[in-house]
Amino acid sequence: MKRERSARILATLGPASASRERIRELALAGADVFRLNFSHGSHEDHAERMKQIREVEHELGRPIGVLMDLQGPKLRVGRFAEGRVTLGPGARFRLDLDPTAGDAVRVNLPHPEIFAALETGTELLLDDGKLRLRVDAFGADFADTTVLVGGVLSDRKGVNVPGVVLPISPLTAKDRADLDFGLALGVDWVALSFVQRPEDIREAREIIGDQAWIMAKLEKPAAIEQLEPIVALADGIMVARGDLGVEMPPQQVPVLQRRIVRAARAAGRPVVVATQMLESMIGAPVPTRAEASDVATAIYDGADAVMLSAESASGQYPVEAVSIMHRIICEVEHDPAWRSGLEASHTPAAANTPDAICCALRRVAGLLEPAATVAYTTTGFSSLRASRERPATPILALTPHVGTARRLALVWGVHAVPFEEVHDVAEMVDHAASAAVAHDFAAPGDVVVVIAGLPFGRSGSTNLLHIARIPD
């Protein structure tokens, strides 16, 4: 189960992948982390999938990460008396708190927080941006609008308010119940939807603590305006291009994707590029050439992972989708331009001891071409800082905690292995050498680079770099 690539694959589970055998096939095809989408399925469904994942993990002998994706607030219009209406450009249309069924001139919008945040001229997007309304007048319980882009509007379609920070928590009552359940299951990552500001990460952290790592889903323009503070507070970042593409012009999304990836890489936060990566494979056995290029672009940019959504959750070819994504990544990582691109986009390390050690690691790896880097880590900190440097050699992370190993399954270049604690440097070097050989990273006579923190077991104390040759 050693991966011959540095970037990782995050695959969503769903009806098309809801069996132990299919999960095993997906892991063998290249999936490193599985996503449980709490917008769909019952708690019983997710508990069964978690059980199956752990069985497959035990069978394959490789830590597998599990990410729970919270639904977040869903802003939707109410229902119509006839089920749908057609709104023409230039028509007047009211949104209000009246719960009665709507018609061609008004409909319920059961979200007073939206009305509280409106300004004259604010544009509202309905049904994933298919319809566009301009706010002309508003009050605490209504908004009078003009239809800019018309079309058919039916029951319970979504509403987006780009450019406005809504006074809404990212955690609904459903999310809080789901979060309690997911943490009890032992998920490794929590993907937080509807992030608008740094305070949203702090709110989630108060509940999650150190039970899981938090991944901020960047899908709102307001979050982009506070990108660096959000990246600094989160444990990982997801470029959620679906919702981001609804609220922002499509031509801006590729530029924002690259900006987000670079910000996350600079901060040493794992970053996932998600949504519509191999969308055509929901119903076709091969992707379009444009989709293959899209995946490749994310890898050239240095993303830690790429994600499959409906392709693996409900598509007809889930295993094939993972397999082709794996092959695209491998092809890119064999291109010399990939490595030179990573070097060109590398950002300077911070002026502290852990980053100095990992910066030196990158230089040593480039000069000596060791078989592997071995990082001793309790919390994952050493491996994250090593991964930030994008060294030319794989990173074998040895940790006494299986939970840490599972979290690191999403991180670029890291192969995490649960391992017993060490007590002195000599023991550390011996264990590093034996682990590198046991996991097919090195052979007798090879050189390995070992990084660790002294005293052992203290988070964030990476202060040692040791070069060792494995005895013949």
Active site residues: 35, 76, 217, 275
User: Does the N-terminal peptide bond of residue 287 adopt cis geometry, omega within 30 degrees of 0?
Assistant: no
Q: How many whole angstroms separate alpha carbon 221 and alpha carbon 249? A: 11
Q: How many whole angstroms separate alpha carbon 111 and alpha carbon 132? A: 18
Helix H segments across 270-396?
289-300, 310-313, 318-333, 336-344, 353-368, 381-388
Contacts of 307 by beta carbon, 8 Å cutoff, 6+ apart: 9, 10, 11, 12, 35, 238, 272, 273, 274, 275, 277
Contact at 8 Å (CB) between 9 and 322?
yes
Q: 65-69 and 84-87 as β-strands: parallel, antiparallel, unpaired?
A: unpaired
Q: How many whole angstroms separate alpha carbon 429 and alpha carbon 448? A: 9
Q: How many whole angstroms separate alpha carbon 472 and alpha carbon 453? A: 27
Q: How many whole angstroms separate alpha carbon 172 and alpha carbon 113? A: 14
Contacts of 9 by beta carbon, 8 Å cutoff, 6+ apart: 30, 31, 32, 33, 305, 306, 307, 308, 322, 325, 326, 329
Nearest-10 Cα torsion for 298, 303, 309, 312:
90
Kindly report the number of other CB atoms within 10 A of residue 155's CB atom: 15
Token pair belonging to 112: 């007073």
Adjacent-strand bridge partners of 107: 95
Adjacent-strand bridge partners of 131: 126
Q: How many whole angstroms separate alpha carbon 454 and alpha carbon 428? A: 11
Token pair belonging to 443: 């052979």
Q: How many whole angstroms separate alpha carbon 78 and alpha carbon 39? A: 19
Nearest-10 Cα torsion for 440, 446, 452, 456:
80
Contact at 8 Å (CB) between 234 and 201?
yes
